[in-house]
Every structure is written in C-alpha cells, then in structure tokens.
Amino acid sequence: MKGGFYIAISALRAVQKKFGAIANIDLLLVSDEESGSDDSKRLTRQLAEDYDACLVFEAAGKNGDVVIGRKGIATYEVTIVGKAAHAGNHYQSGIDANLAAAHMIIELSKLTCLAEGTTVNAGKMQGGIGANTISPKAQLKVEARFCSGSEKARVTSAIKGLVTHNPVAGVHITIEGGVQRDVMEPNPAQMDFLAQLESIIDAPIPTERRGGVSDANVVAEMHIPTLDGLGPFGEYDHTVDERACKSSFLRRLDQVTRILSFYNQCALANRVA
C-alpha cells in the first residue's frame, strides 16, 4: 500500500516538475481501506462523480498486471439466542444456541459455489457458558464473496432467509450486515480506458482478476472506468514478511508518469483553448 502511495506521489511530482502545473488530476488517500472503508466510502463516491476515470494504486500482479475485476463482499454478524438450562438435570428445558449455530454454519457452507467463484465463510464463532449448561447464546461472523450480481443476489437472499429456517425450535436469530463492497466487473468502458493507457506507454498491459476487494470496487460500482493494481509488485501480503520488488517500482513509476503526463498535457491544452 505504501509502495503504491510512493509511486502515485512520485509520478505527480515528476509531472509537476515537467509542466509546472497539474490540471484535473487529483489524489485521494484513505486510511481505513483494510477495515472496509466504512468511513471513507461516502467521500470516495462523492468525489468520484466529478471524474472521468480512476487509477487505484494497490499492488501490481507478478508481471505488472493491472486488476480489471474484483469480487464483491458482504459481511454479517449473526446472533442466536436460546435458553440456558442445566445440561444434566434439565436438558430438555434448554434451547441450544450452539446447536443452532452449528446447523447454520453447515447451511452457510452449502452456499459456496466454487464454479461461480462464490465463497461463504463463517470465520468466527463463539457461544455458550460451560460444558454443564445448555448454551443460551451464540454468535457468528460471516463473510460472503461473489463475482457477479446474480451470485450476490442469490447468496445475500439465502443468508437472510436463514433467520426463519433453523431446525432448533425456539431459537431467536438476528442477522445484521450486508454488502460491504459491490462487485468490480470488467466492462467495455474499462477496456477502452485500458487500451488508451497501452497506447500512451506503447506496450501491452497484462490484466488479472482478484478475489480480494479494494476501493476500486467503490468507484467501479458508479460506472466509472477503473483500473487497479497500479502499485509495485509484492508478495507475502498481510504477513510480517510482506515486501515489494525494487525493480517493479522503476517499471511502474515510469509507466504512471507517462500516463499522467499525457492526461495533464491534454488538460493544460484544453485550458489554453
């Protein structure tokens, strides 16, 4: 992420030095992307309405790939309320929230469809008081990822439907949450934008799709041509060994500087005209 910031800022500095001014190119940095951009999404959407295209400086692919598609993501917190009872003396008087949670995890896992690129993961669960007590409460944290609008509709509808479909009689289930970021799907306007960039740097730009999400999803859902992965190539993401390749900085900085210089020159020419 910091490598992407470095490339964006360094390219803008180079453009400023070359032309003496920067026209119609702006840089937005947000601090909450990894946690879901819950605070910055509104600002991003508001600003994006005034722009023709967007470049996002997440890490590049191994071959300098830019990202043309990302999965959408929905997150949920599920609360299951049962009834406590002594597990030995009054077993039948209890309503087991943990058992209901177990059934729900199985049903959630059935929603996964790898052929469509859809995954549903109950990543965290907690519940109960102790081994001698029927569990009065359980909680799940669930994430769904999807590659298309149709899969988003199928999965989100099915998850909400689990509130009223549980084989443990008497439990009360609430589900909070929903779509956090929508799907970023390749589209003709994006491909035209990519072709323009290839013409500017006089070289093909490899592309890829990713299962992770970024703020590119936020802009792309507004039907603004968006390309992601304009940062350097790196590896071991989200670990203590995370690192970026030095040579990829040089290649990407050269490309981005040429791209921004072209659009800046066009904008300055239009101002004069």
pLDDT tens, per residue, the chain with 273 residues: 889 999 999 999 999 999 999 998 999 998 878 777 778 888 999 999 999 999 999 999 999 999 999 999 999 999 999 999 999 999 999 999 999 999 999 999 999 999 999 999 999 999 999 999 999 999 999 999 999 999 999 999 999 999 888 899 999 999 999 998 999 999 999 999 999 999 999 999 999 999 888 999 999 999 999 999 999 998 888 889 989 988 899 999 999 999 999 999 999 988 765
Could you tell me how far CA 89 lies from the centroid of its own chain? 49
Domain boundary assignment for the chain: 2-70+184-272, 72-181
Distances (CA, A) of 46 to 90, 100, 131: 57, 42, 52
Task: Output the pLDDT for position 165.
Answer: 86
Task: Output the pLDDT for position 273.
Answer: 59
What are residue 180's phi and psi, to 5 degrees?
Answer: -90, -45
State the DSSP H helix or E strand holding residue 268, giving kind and residue range, or none if neither. Answer: helix 246-272
Task: Output the pLDDT for position 272.
Answer: 65
User: Does domain 72-181 bear CATH number 2.40.70.10?
Assistant: no
C-alpha span between 160 and 172 (Å, rounded)? 13
pTM of the model: 0.81
User: Does domain 2-70+184-272 bear CATH number 3.40.630.10?
Assistant: yes
C-alpha span between 231 and 14 (Å, rounded)? 16
Task: Output the pLDDT for position 125.
Answer: 97
